[in-house]
Structures are given as C-alpha cells and as structure tokens.
C-alpha cells in the first residue's frame, strides 16, 4: 500500500466506532468521524463540532482507554445481555459484556450521549 493510499484511508476512517450486539436488544452501530460527521446504523446522524470530537478523544485518553483489555467479561452477566464495543482511532476494539468497568462505561456513555443514540 502506498503512503498516499494509506494516508487517504486514515483520513476517511472513523475516529470512533461503537455500539452493541447480541442479547435481547436492537443492535446499534455508530461511527463518529474527525470532522464531526456521525453515521448511526448506516444513516446520517447529528453533526458534532470538531471541538466535541476532540473532547471525546481527550476523554478516551484520560480514561486510558487504549490500556483496557480487549474483552471485559463482567461476573454474573446473563447471556441475554448485549455486548457493548468501542473502537478509538486505529486502536483495537474493546468489548464489554455487562457493566463492570468504569473507564469503558464512561467512554461509551459519552459517545452514546454525543450521537443521541439509546
């Protein structure tokens, strides 16, 4: 892959991808792009300011999101509870089944609030 193609791919890649899958709830997939464009379940969503995207990136850094384990399995979580996931930039995706990791939960809640998804 040439440097130009790689740079173009990075420029159009979402800054955040998050959502939920499995369980007894409607799945969700949301993407937030650096310029503020939001896509929720394949449809355009609200537009965020660049400042808001930057603040979400700062929150992820403050929560040391990149240092979370790839999978977070919360004790006692029933199998019919959805798994939440968040990907920040080009980093790996973190999955949480249950709600036991405050750092993950704070980032997920901020993203969910920013795009107006439930």
Least confident segment among 7-11, 88-92, 110-114? 7-11
Q: What is the largest CA-CA distance in the chain?
A: 48
Secondary structure (DSSP) of 44-68: E-PPPPHHHHHHHHHHHHHTTGGGS
Tell the burial category of 79 from Cβ atoms under 10 Å away from its Cβ (0-12, 13-18, 19+): exposed
List helix spans (H) across 18-101.
50-62
Least confident segment among 37-41, 45-49, 97-101, 114-118? 114-118
Using the predicted structure, report yes or no on whether residue 9 has a pLDDT greater than 90: no
Q: What is the pLDDT of residues 63-82, one digit of tens each?
A: 999 999 999 999 999 999 99
Question: Do residues 85 and 23 lie in contact, with contact meaning Cβ atoms separated by under 8 Å?
Answer: no
């Amino acid at each position: 892959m040439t440097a130009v193609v790689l740079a173009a791919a990075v420029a159009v890649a979402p800054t955040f991808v998050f959502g939920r899958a499995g369980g007894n709830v409607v799945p969700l997939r949301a993407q937030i792009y650096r310029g503020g464009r939001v896509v929720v379940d394949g449809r355009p969503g609200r537009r965020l300011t660049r400042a808001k995207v930057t603040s979400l990136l700062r929150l992820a850094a403050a929560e040391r999101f990149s240092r979370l384990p790839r999978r977070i399995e919360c004790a006692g979580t029933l199998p019919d509870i959805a798994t939440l996931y968040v990907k920040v930039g080009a980093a790996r995706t973190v999955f949480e089944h249950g709600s036991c990791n405050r750092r993950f939960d704070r980032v997920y809640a901020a993203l969910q609030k920013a795009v107006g998804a439930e």
